[in-house]
Structure 1
Amino acid sequence: MKFIRNARTALSHRLAERRAHRRLSDELAAFRTAAERSELDMVLGRHSADETAEIDAILSRQDAARRYGAAVHIV
């Protein structure tokens, strides 16, 4: 019984983490213009690399997706 309870708790925490990550990704996607990104970079610059690692990873993925999308439309 304890195993099942622990598995349910772990699954619940994982789902909550995924929802929070998705929400953060959606919020960061709103920073599109150069001015908006510069402002965001200034804010992130006030924090350590450890504190901003997740945000940096999300922004890198979003930038890569935008570049890929732009390259596909050019061809």
Structure 2
Amino acid sequence: MDTPDVIAQLQRLGERFDELATRARRLAEENRSLRQQHDQLAGERSQLLTRNEQARSRVEAMIARLKSLEQHT
């Protein structure tokens, strides 16, 4: 192999390394963003489940009161 060939291969290897490093940084940032989004959505889901359970309890209490009123009339 000639020296120019070796130099050209090393340059291509360096360029490929730079591309991979850039891709790794981009994927790490995307992963961080997705984890943050997941955490936010999990929190929202938890709040919605709590509100749903509270609403269910209120509806059940109203139904019980209505049944109680029906029995007294």
TM-score (normalizing by structure 1): 0.44
**Hey, which of these two has a bigger chunk of helix by percent?**
2
Greater Cα radius of gyration, structure 1 or 2: 2
Query: Which structure ranks higher in relative contact order (CA pairs < 8 Å, sequence separation ≥ 6)?
Result: 1
